[in-house]
């Protein structure tokens, strides 16, 4: 009887050790490298294999910082119609993004141009839908050209606000 208990106790000890070892295995990357505990890992669908979250292949993007203004007041583009209109703009040195607000009742197009003589057309630039806003990464334009895609029924004055974040 003691022998049966001995075998049973030994089998239990082996099983407990195997389960415990399995619970504390490190996560590994696609190439078999150990993933440190401070890196947020997203599962890949392969057992115990993760990739850092936020990469192009990851199923989960890392949360980004909210948009924060770099200047107190927006640049307001008054009098936008179906005829392209150019404006001079100055980007603050610390700004990495801008929020573009289109309060108009029509879609508009905006394009960075090299001089006040260049213009946006109905097929160039970025189209912003009516009554929407969007935060976009910024270059360093000196001039922009804006036009409404169709005639607005009321005065159209989109806004551009430089800042950081998204």
Q: Does 55 or 160 have the greater pLDDT score?
A: 160
Q: Where in the chain is the domain with CATH 2.60.120.10?
A: 68-164
Q: Indicate the pLDDT class of residue 35, thresholds 50, 70 and 90.
A: low
Query: Which CATH code for domain 68-164?
Result: 2.60.120.10
Which backbone phi and psi does 82 adopt, to 5 degrees?
A: -75, -10
With b for 16 or more beta-carbon neighbours within 10 A and e for fewer, the 88-120 pattern comes to: ebebeeebebbbbbbebebbbbbbbbeeeeebb
pLDDT digits (tens, 9 = 90+) for 85-136: 999 999 999 899 999 999 999 999 999 999 999 999 999 999 999 999 999 8
Q: How far apart are CA 130 and CA 95, in angstroms?
A: 25
Contact 108, 146 (CB under 8 A): yes
């Amino acid at each position: 009887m003691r022998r049966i208990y001995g075998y049973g106790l030994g089998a239990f000890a082996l099983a407990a050790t195997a389960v415990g070892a399995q619970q504390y295995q490190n996560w590994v990357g696609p190439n078999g490298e150990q993933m440190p505990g401070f890196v947020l890992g997203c599962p890949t669908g392969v057992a115990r294999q993760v990739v850092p979250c936020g990469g192009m292949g990851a199923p989960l993007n890392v949360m980004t910082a909210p948009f924060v203004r770099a200047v107190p007041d927006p640049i307001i583009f008054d009098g936008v119609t179906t005829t392209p209109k150019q404006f001079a703009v100055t980007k603050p040195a610390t700004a990495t993004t801008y929020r573009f607000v289109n309060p108009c009742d029509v879609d508009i197009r905006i394009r960075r141009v090299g001089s006040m003589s260049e213009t946006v057309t109905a097929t160039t630039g970025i189209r912003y839908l009516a009554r929407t806003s969007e935060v976009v990464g910024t270059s360093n334009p000196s001039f922009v050209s804006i036009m409404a895609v169709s005639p607005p029924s009321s005065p159209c004055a989109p806004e551009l606000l430089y800042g950081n974040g998204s």
